[in-house]
């Protein structure tokens, strides 16, 4: 499978997905740590891809997403943004309802 197809499949199969360095429990960079902590604080399950374990995805995703940095949060196939945007949304109370709504919608299916 082509890397881009793999990325598209991961985004399609996971309503809440973060591409990050490391894992939510063991992040490998400060930005990934902040972003995954904000997501975990929303209290819903989410998927993640460790780009350090997937160098092909790490190389291809910035071009596909038109977003140069990691982490990247994707919700229902749409790029939400990176660490700054995730943290801003969390602090303004915008991230929590978005994540809860998407998680509820997909748990019913």
Of how many residues is the chain composed? Answer: 109
Supply the DSSP string of 40-78, one letter for each residue: HHTTS--EEEETTT-HHHHHHHHHHHT--SS-EEEETTE
d(Cα 100, Cα 90) in Å, to the nearest integer? 12
| Sheet containing strand 78-81, strands side by side | 47-50, 16-20, 72-75, 78-81
Is 42 annotated in some ligand binding site? no
Is 46 annotated in some ligand binding site? no
- Going by the DSSP 8-state scheme, the letter that residue 97 receives in this structure is H
State the binding site: 21, 29, 58, 70, 83-84
**Known binding positions for glutathione:** 21, 58, 70, 83-84
Annotated binding residues for [2Fe-2S] cluster, written as ranges, equal: 29
């Amino acid at each position: 499978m082509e890397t881009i197809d793999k990325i598209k499949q991961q985004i399609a199969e996971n309503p809440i997905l973060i591409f990050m360095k490391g894992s939510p429990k063991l992040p490998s960079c400060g930005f990934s740590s902040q972003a995954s902590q904000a997501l975990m604080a929303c209290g819903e399950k989410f998927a993640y891809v460790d780009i350090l374990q997937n160098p092909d995805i790490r190389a291809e995703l910035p071009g596909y997403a038109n977003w140069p940095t990691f982490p990247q949060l994707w919700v229902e196939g749409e790029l939400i943004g990176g660490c700054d945007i995730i943290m801003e949304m969390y602090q303004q109370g915008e991230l929590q309802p978005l994540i809860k709504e998407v998680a509820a919608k997909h748990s019913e299916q």
